[in-house]
Structure 1
Amino acid sequence: MADSSRDTPEGAGWGGAERGTYRALMPPRTEKLSWLSPRTLWAARNGVLASWFGDPTGATRSRWVAQRAAAGAPADKVIRRTDPEEFSFLVIGDTGEGDDPQYAVVPGLLRAGGDTRFAVIASDVIYPVGSADDYDTKFFRPYRDYPAPVYAIPGNHDWYEGLGAFMRVFCDDAPPLPPEPAPRPFSRARLRSLLWHRPGPDDGRRLDEARALRGAPGQQAVQPGPYWAIDAGPLRIVGIDTGLLGTLDAEQGAWLREVSRDPRPKILVTGSPLYVDGAHHPCEIEGGGTVDDIVRDPAHRYVAAIGGDIHNYQRYPVDVDGRTIQYVVAGGGGAFMHATHTIPRVSVGGVGEEDFRCYPLRGDSLAFYSRLYGRRLRLRRFFTLTEDEATAVVTERLGIRPARSPRASAPVTLRTRLVAGLLGTGRRPDRGKRFRLPVRKIYTQLFSPSSATYSPPFFKCFLRLDVTPQAVRLRCHAATGNLAQELDPPVEDEVVIPLG
C-alpha cells in the first residue's frame, strides 16, 4: 500500500514529485474560476439575498417535487436497485470547478473505484451557479470513463439558478417550472425577485452534446427529485437537499422522518455536514426538530452521516447512547481546499482530538497556505514554512500529537509562531488567550476560496465504501495530482462501521 500523508511528506505530495496524467483528460481550455472576481460574486448573490429577504428554496423545491410526482416518479422517492448483499460505492463531494484539482481526482478514482456499483456526489455538482452549460466540462467530461451511474444531491451553488440544470441532468430532463405569481409590490419577496439571479435564455444549448460523453446504458440513472433514498443490498442511503441556507423545509422533513422508519441500517448524505470544524450543526427542519434528531434516533438505525460543502475530509466518531455514529465531512472532490489548520483542538460530542481525523493534516494545510501567501505577498522568506516546521508549530500551539512524525528536528521559533498565528492556527485553551487574528470564519469565506492552485499537491479526496450485511468499510483516498498517488491512491483514513 502506498504511503499516505500520515507516513511521509512524499505521501502527502510534497517534494517535487512527477505530475500525474490527469491533464490529458482535460479540455484544451479550462476556466480558471476566481472567487474574488466581482463577476463571480454577483452571479452567486442568491445566497445572500435569501438570508436578507427570505429563502424561497423550500417553495421552489416543493414545486420541483410535485412536477416529478406528476411525471410518474415514485411517491416515496426511493430508488430500488438490484445490488448484491456485498457491493461498493463511491462518495465525492463538491466537485465541479472544472479545473486541475477536479480532474486530478479522476485517475485515482477510476483506479480505486472503477469497480464500484455507483457513485454519489455530495453537494455542489457545478460551480459557481449550477449553469447547465457548465455540465460539459465539470460533470460529463471528467466522469465519462466511470462506468456506473452517478446520483447527486444539490449544494447551495446548484441552487443559484433555481436548480433547473440539476433537475435536467439528474431527474429525467425535467422541464422548466412555470413562472411563479408576482410577489406583492413593496414586499421583501418583491425586492428579492428584482435582484434574483436567473439562468440566461440560451443556457443548456450544449447539454445534449455533453450527455453523449456519459451515454452508455450502464451509466444512466434517474432520480425522483433533489432528495431521495437508495435501497442497495442491505443498506438504505438517504440523500437530503439542504438548499441555499443549510436547512430543510417541512415537506422534506416529513419525508425524511417517514423514510427513516425503514428497518434497514442507513447512511445519510447531506449537503451540510452535521459535525464540522470542531462544532455541531444539527440542521434545523422548518416547523421544529433537526436532522440530527432523526439520525440519532436508535429506531432509525443510522450508522453514518456524510456531508459536503466544506472542501476537506473530517471524521467524528460520536457516541450516541452506547452506539457510535460516524459523522464525516467529504467535500474534497475538486473545489478549492478549505484549511484544516484553523480547526481548533477537537472536543465536541464526546469526541476528543485522539479520535478525530482530517485530511489534509493540519501541518500540511498550514504549509500549503504559508507557501501560497508567501508567494502572493512576495514575502516567501518570512511566510514559507517547511512541512516539518508547520507540523511542529501546529503541534505546539494546539497541544496535540503530530499526525506525522517529523524526519528532522524543526525548532519552533518566533517566526513560525507568528506565521501560524497570522494564518489562523489557534492555541489550546489552557495556554492563555489565543494569539491570532479572528480568521477561522474569514478563512472559510475569503482566504480558502482564493487558495485555488493549479500545481500539486492539491489535497483532494474521495470515499470508497464497501458494504456487507455485517459492516461498511469506509476509506478516504487521497488525490494529490502527482503520478505516485494516481497509480496507487493512498488511504488517508479507514474505519469499519458495524451494521448490526
Structure 2
Amino acid sequence: MISTKILYKAVLKKDQVDDSHTFQPLPSPTGSYPYRLDLKPKPDNPNPQAMVFHMVGDTGGFKQPQLQKEIASQMAQQYLQASCPEERPSFLYHLGDLVYHFGEAGQYEDQFLKPYESYPGPIYAIAGNHDTDVNPNSAEHYEPLEAFYTAFCNTCPATIHFGTEIKRKSQVQPNVYWTMESPLATIIGLHTNVPKFGCIKKEQQDWFIKELKHAAKYSSEKAIIICMHHAPYSADVNHGSSKAMVEFLEASFAAAGVKPDLIFSGHVHNYQRFTRHFPDGKTLPFVVAGAGGFDELHALADPEEPGYQTENELFDQVILENYCDNKHGFLKIAIEKTPFKFTIKGQYYTISRENHENNDQEARLFDEFTVDLTGR
C-alpha cells in the first residue's frame, strides 16, 4: 500500500450550527473610551527598543490540572532564568478561556489563580467564550463576565475576593475589548463572545476600525498586533475556520484602510501558524495558540473528508506554515527596533504530554517565525 502524506489546510465545517442565541450582553466599561491602557517601559530594562512577552490561550480545565501548572511553570522559569533584563518577559497576554466550562468565580482559584501564582510578571487577558458564558444551573445568579471583570477590569489593583491567599492583585484593563499601548506595539484585544464561531456587534467593530486607524499613525514606531479568542483560520476537526471572524476582519481592514502585522487567537486547542497573502502585497501571519492547558487537544482534519470544505474564496492565498496538534505549549514574542531593523520574532515552546508530571522537564522550542517591519 502506498501511503500519501495529508496536505493540511484551513477548513470550514459543513455542519455548522447557528448558536447565535448564546451571545451574551457585555458589561459597562470600567475605563473611559477609547479603552486604552498605557504600558510604561520597564524601569530595569536598559534597552527601551526591545520588548519580550509571553502569550498563551485556553489554559483552564479540571481533568488534568497538572497540565496548566506545567505550562505556567515553564513560562515562569523563562522569566526567572532570563540572562539579562531586556530578555525578561514584560508580561503574559492571555488569549482567553482561563476557566471551563462557564465563567463562574468559583472556577478561577483552581483553574487560573493558583496555577499562575508562580508567574512573576503581570498578566493581561481577553475573555474567551467559556469565560463569558453563564452556567444555567448555577445555584447563585451572576452576570456574564462578572468574575472576569473582577480579575481583569477593576478600576484599581485590588485583592481578588475569590482567591484564597492569592497575592496577585486584579488587573486594571478598561473594558472587555481594549487596547494596550506599549512602547513598541499597539496590541488591540477583541472580544468575540460565546457563539462557537464568534460574534462581534457593530459597536465593537466601529471601535476596532478607529483603533486600527489610530495605530496606523504610529506604525513607523510600533507594531500593530490583534488578539482575539476565536481563530479566523483553522485546520482542526473540532472547530475549523470561522467564516464570521474572517469576514469581520476583512470588512474592518477595508473600512480602516489598515492591516495589522500579526493576529493571535486561541479557542482551538493546538498550535497553528498560517500566512495570508493579500493582493496589495501584504503578508499577514495568523497564529493559533490555544494549547495552554485544557486536557483535550484538537487534531487536524483530513481536508478530503466529506464533512469539511476547503474551496472557498476566504481561503485564497492562505497557507498553513506549521502546526503542532499533539503537545501543549505557549508563545514567547520578542519585538526589537534599532536604526537598522524592526522585527517581531515568535517562538513556540511545547511540553511533553506523557511526562507532564515531571517538573524538571524543559519546554522545547518547536517553531520560530519572524515578521520583518524594517523600513516602515
TM-score (norm 1): 0.56
Trace 1:418-429 onto structure 2 (pairs within 5 A): none
The 3 A distance-change label for structure 1 pair 213 and 315 is same
1:250 to 202, 215, 223: 202
**Is residue 113–residue 464 contact of structure 1 (8 Å, CA) maintained in 2?**
no
Secondary structure at the aligned position of 2:56 is classed as strand
Q: Which amino acid aligns with 1:274?
A: P
The 3 A distance-change label for structure 1 pair 94 and 273 is same
The 3 A distance-change label for structure 1 pair 295 and 274 is farther
Give the equivalent residue in structure 2 for 1:350.
Answer: 317
What is the deviation of 1:259?
0.6
The 3 A distance-change label for structure 1 pair 466 and 295 is farther
Q: Supply the distance in 1 between the matched residues of 2:93 and 2:323 (Cα, whole angstroms).
A: 21
- Whether 2:149 is the aligned partner of 1:167: answer yes
The 3 A distance-change label for structure 1 pair 474 and 296 is farther
Q: Which amino acid aligns with 2:161?
A: D
Secondary structure at the aligned position of 2:106 is classed as helix
Give the equivalent residue in structure 2 for 1:336.
Answer: 295
- Structure 1's unaligned 5+ residue stretches are 1-47, 175-205, 366-458
Trace 1:49-88 onto structure 2 (pairs within 5 A): 51=19, 54-57=21-24, 60-61=25-26, 63-65=27-29, 68=30, 73-83=31-41, 84-88=48-52
- Whether 2:195 is the aligned partner of 1:228: answer no
Q: Which moved more, 1:341-350 or 1:237-246?
A: 341-350
The 3 A distance-change label for structure 1 pair 164 and 209 is closer
What is the deviation of 1:488?
3.1
2:235 to 277, 282, 289: 277
RMSD of aligned alpha carbons: 2.8
- Whether 2:192 is the aligned partner of 1:210: answer no
1:476 to 335, 348, 352: 348
Q: Supply the distance in 2 between the matched residues of 1:497 and 1:464 (Cα, whole angstroms).
A: 14
User: Could you give the per-residue CA deviations for residues 147-169 of structure 1, whole angstroms, max 9, x where no partner exists?
Assistant: 21111111111112211111111
2:75 to 109, 112, 129: 109
**Is residue 345–residue 370 contact of structure 2 (8 Å, CA) maintained in 1?**
yes
The 3 A distance-change label for structure 1 pair 158 and 214 is same
Q: Which amino acid aligns with 1:214?
A: K
User: Could you give the per-residue CA deviations for residues 42-79 of structure 1, whole angstroms, max 9, x where no partner exists?
Assistant: xxxxxx9x927x3552xx21x423xx2xxxx1311111
Give the equivalent residue in structure 2 for 1:4.
Answer: none
- Whether 2:264 is the aligned partner of 1:300: answer no
Q: Supply the distance in 2 between the matched residues of 1:207 and 1:235 (Cα, whole angstroms).
A: 29
What is the deviation of 1:220?
5.6
1:137 to 110, 118, 137: 110
Secondary structure at the aligned position of 1:310 is classed as coil
- Whether 2:368 is the aligned partner of 1:494: answer yes
Q: Which runs of 4+ in 1 moved over 4 A?
A: 295-299, 483-487
Q: Which moved more, 1:483-492 or 1:123-132?
A: 483-492
What is the deviation of 1:134?
1.4
Q: Which amino acid aligns with 1:208?
A: H
What is the deviation of 1:283?
3.1
Give the equivalent residue in structure 2 for 1:148.
Answer: 121
User: Could you give the per-residue CA deviations for residues 270-322 of structure 1, whole angstroms, max 9, x where no partner exists?
Assistant: 0111111176535359xxx6123335778424111111111000010111131
Q: Which amino acid aligns with 1:475?
A: Q
Q: Supply the distance in 2 between the matched residues of 1:317 and 1:128 (Cα, whole angstroms).
A: 31
Q: Supply the distance in 2 between the matched residues of 1:490 and 1:234 (Cα, whole angstroms).
A: 27
Q: Supply the distance in 2 between the matched residues of 1:56 and 1:301 (Cα, whole angstroms).
A: 27
The 3 A distance-change label for structure 1 pair 160 and 248 is same
Q: Supply the distance in 2 between the matched residues of 1:250 and 1:148 (Cα, whole angstroms).
A: 34
What is the deviation of 1:141?
0.8
The 3 A distance-change label for structure 1 pair 486 and 267 is farther
The 3 A distance-change label for structure 1 pair 167 and 209 is closer
**Is residue 345–residue 368 contact of structure 2 (8 Å, CA) maintained in 1?**
yes
The 3 A distance-change label for structure 1 pair 302 and 486 is farther
Which structure has the greater CA radius of gyration?
A: 1
Secondary structure at the aligned position of 1:340 is classed as coil
Q: Supply the distance in 2 between the matched residues of 1:333 and 1:491 (Cα, whole angstroms).
A: 15
Q: Which amino acid aligns with 1:241?
A: H
User: Could you give the per-residue CA deviations for residues 159-203 of structure 1, whole angstroms, max 9, x where no partner exists?
Assistant: 1221111111111179xxxxxxxxxxxxxxxxxxxxxxxxxxxxx
> In percent, how many aligned pairs have the same letter?
23
The 3 A distance-change label for structure 1 pair 485 and 249 is same
**Is residue 478–residue 485 contact of structure 1 (8 Å, CA) maintained in 2?**
no
- Whether 2:74 is the aligned partner of 1:92: answer no
| Larger helix share, 1 or 2 | 1
What is the deviation of 1:125?
1.2
What is the deviation of 1:143?
0.9
Q: Supply the distance in 2 between the matched residues of 1:297 and 1:464 (Cα, whole angstroms).
A: 31
Q: Supply the distance in 1 between the matched residues of 2:253 and 2:284 (Cα, whole angstroms).
A: 9
- Whether 2:31 is the aligned partner of 1:157: answer no
Trace 1:168-187 onto structure 2 (pairs within 5 A): 168-172=150-154
What is the deviation of 1:344?
3.0
TM-score (norm 2): 0.74
- Whether 2:98 is the aligned partner of 1:125: answer yes
Q: Supply the distance in 2 between the matched residues of 1:223 and 1:231 (Cα, whole angstroms).
A: 12
Secondary structure at the aligned position of 2:19 is classed as helix
Q: How many residues align?
A: 306
